Structure 1
Amino acid sequence: MKIAVLRETAAGERRVAASPETVKKYKALGAQVAVEAGAGVGAAVADQAFADAGAAIGDRGEVLADADIVLVVQTPAPESLSGLKPGAWIIGQANPFGERARIERYAAIGAEMLAMEWMPRITRAQSMDVLSSQSNLAGYKAVLDAAHEYDRAFPMMMTAAGTVSAARVFVMGVGVAGLQAIATARRLGAQVSATDVRPATREQILSLGAKPVFVENVAGIEGEGSGGYASEMSDDYKAAQAALVSSHIAKQDIVITTALIPGRPAPRLISDAQVASMKPGSVIVDLAVEQGGNVEGAVAGEIVERHGVKIVGHRNVPSRLAADASALFARNLFNFLSAFWDKEAGHPVLDAEIGDAIRLTQGGRIVHPRLLTDVV
């Protein structure tokens, strides 16, 4: 059983899908590990560190030769996998809805694509959940990015010259990223409030010392979709939420938006008029900018200014903390493979619950039910 670890080729991607720690663990399972030269440079992991852990270092062709499993952070172009044997697993983030044509090409070359972002949110898969580990870091980094762009202090400061008021931070969307954003802003001394469409998050917000801001008295709105994600809201709820946010957001110094709905564009949470209501010098960080954005006027990969308010739209925020993001991502992948490792067979054997949830292609065709409706 040979495991290949590739150097990422996506623009701005600095992470790597394995670490010296996980290389040693794969070796202990009996696997061979080959790492493409330079794979860890962006995450501050030298080739020698991988070699010292027991990996062979080579160019892409050498690494892919006879590989049974290929580990990546973001799936590369199938054309870059020349020499990959049919039936090999490619494990990483596949962006199934956004990269449909690429997935069809994976099927055409006979690869078995396993999309880690579709890992079911069940108890036994928590340690395999790359979305949670990466979102946690994204929520933390969003607050740091906001603090960098904000020209004032976060905590209240009392000096002989007078008092500096604490920054007011409003977090919209209380998933993993949102919760970490709340905690980080609180640690920095900000006055924090937060909102979500899921009433169950109220207690989580309170537990972190923040103020919950929720739409009240709108019947029939639960906000809880499958797997713990938010679902699409009714028009009544959207109108009530817009009114609530408009009154609250004008008083905020920093807003961080994190709302995503799987398989759909990110919901629009902040309008241009709401941006205009904020004080000059305020900052908005849109963590959903790559999926269309929660904020009107946000631009992926840019920091733009509208009405005196900075709107931060960094791409691939976890990659901005590449060393820690890589270490966590690598552990997620190892936890996944080791959980299904069959010692007698010498390779992992997936069960139906998880295998069917993340397997996109097999036997030369697309097999995932969520993609089959669009297959021609």
Structure 2
Amino acid sequence: MIVGVLRETAAEERRVALIPDDVRGLAGVRVIVEHDAGRSIGFDDADYVAAGAQVGERAEIFARSDVVVWVKPPTYQLDSARSGMTVLGFQDPLHRHDVIAGLRARGVESIGYEAVPHSRPDIDALSAMSRIAGEVAYEQGRQLLSIDGPVRALILGCGQAGRSAIAAAAAHGDEPTAMGNHPEQESTAIRYGAKAFLPNPDALHAHLAAETPDLIVCAAVHRGSRGPLLLDATALDALRPGTVIVDLVAKSGGNCVAVVPDRTVTLPNGVVVTHRSNYPTLRPSEASHAYSAATAALLRNRFPTAFSAEP
């Protein structure tokens, strides 16, 4: 089996799907890495060659590979993907449904991390990236505030990203309130550092009326689904000028009605709403190591017979 590793083409993307250490661990398969795929995190082509990979161009990868791996879907058309090939990485199924269906019709299988269950942490790259994203998003939002002293934070969602944002708030000495979608999440939220807990979205408007937060991190979404609308126009009207909202799930519909993907906007009432589609790329080395470990594990899990053969 031949595995091809693409150089990322999404805007500002600095991660790589496989790092040299994990290439070295894929005994039994051949790996072709696109030229300069790892340069943004300090790996040059010689590092991959030393790990046992070949270095080639994009056309060669699509011509020869049985499996092609990426972090984010390429920005170019996948016309070169062949019948019998598998493409593995984040697939963005909500926005790329037609592309994925078209590939399937041509005999190309798409494996997306969006569908990997939480019960498989070894291959769950989405959870690993969400943990990084939650912390980075909190830090980014906090930098947009002009506040000395503790920040009153509200974290919407108690999944991987939400819990990470709660922990980041607690590490700053801030005062985070967490909102989940069922009461059983309260103990987890408190353990990560939440000072208070809202058991469901029904409690949100009352909370905003009683205690206006300085910073809101939106991280409420089930993988592969659209994010629920939690901050509607009424909720936004209750916020003070200068409040910052970081919506992590804008590409899945957003928790905030005013979010614009990949933009920072200031509303007429002075509330700032921001989003970027790729918070983990702000920590590219950490994120690449975690993503690569999941990719190597998923390859072994999905294609076990390839790893029992001699290279």
Distance 1:7 1:63, change over 3 A: same
CA distance in 2, matches of 1:269, 1:66: 47
Quick one: which amino acid aligns to residue 321 of structure 1? R
The DSSP-based 3-state class of the residue aligned with 1:294 is coil
- Root-mean-square deviation over aligned CA pairs: 2.2
Counterpart mapping for 1:224-263 below 5 A: 240-248=202-210, 250-263=211-224
Quick one: which amino acid aligns to residue 98 of structure 2? A
Selected match of 1:281 from 230, 242, 246 = 242
Distance 1:252 1:80, change over 3 A: same
CA distance in 1, matches of 2:243, 2:40: 32
1:193 positional shift: 1.3
Runs of at least 5 residues in structure 2 that lack an aligned partner in the other structure: none
Quick one: which amino acid aligns to residue 89 of structure 1? T
Q: Any idea what the Cα deviations from partners look like across 1:43-76, whole Å, max 9, x if unmatched?
A: 3432232222222111112223321211111233
CA distance in 2, matches of 1:321, 1:112: 30
Higher alpha-carbon deviation: 333-342 or 70-79: 70-79
Q: TM-score w.r.t. structure 2 length?
A: 0.91
The DSSP-based 3-state class of the residue aligned with 1:73 is coil
Distance 1:197 1:330, change over 3 A: same
The DSSP-based 3-state class of the residue aligned with 1:270 is coil
The DSSP-based 3-state class of the residue aligned with 1:279 is coil
Counterpart mapping for 1:1-376 below 5 A: 1-26=1-26, 29-76=27-74, 79-80=77-78, 82=80, 84-122=81-119, 125-153=120-148, 165-215=149-199, 240-248=202-210, 250-306=211-267, 307-340=269-302, 341-342=304-305, 346=309
CA distance in 2, matches of 1:296, 1:85: 40
Q: How many residues in Structure 1 have an aligned counterpart in Structure 2?
A: 308
Structure with higher Rg: it is 1
Quick one: which amino acid aligns to residue 57 of structure 2? D
Q: Any idea what the Cα deviations from partners look like across 1:184-230, whole Å, max 9, x if unmatched?
A: 11111111111111222100111123223225xxxxxxxxxxxxxxx
CA contact (8 A) 1:261 1:267 kept: no
Runs of at least 5 residues in structure 1 that lack an aligned partner in the other structure: 154-164, 216-236, 348-376
1:242 positional shift: 4.1
1:345 positional shift: 5.2
CA distance in 2, matches of 1:178, 1:134: 12
CA contact (8 A) 2:177 2:195 kept: yes
CA contact (8 A) 2:20 2:51 kept: yes
Q: TM-score w.r.t. structure 1 length?
A: 0.76
CA distance in 1, matches of 2:76, 2:147: 47
CA contact (8 A) 2:8 2:16 kept: yes
CA distance in 2, matches of 1:270, 1:24: 47
The DSSP-based 3-state class of the residue aligned with 2:68 is strand
Q: Any idea what the Cα deviations from partners look like across 1:252-294, whole Å, max 9, x if unmatched?
A: 1111110113454321111233233323222111111112211
CA contact (8 A) 2:3 2:66 kept: yes
The DSSP-based 3-state class of the residue aligned with 1:342 is helix
CA contact (8 A) 1:77 1:102 kept: no
Quick one: which amino acid aligns to residue 342 of structure 1? T
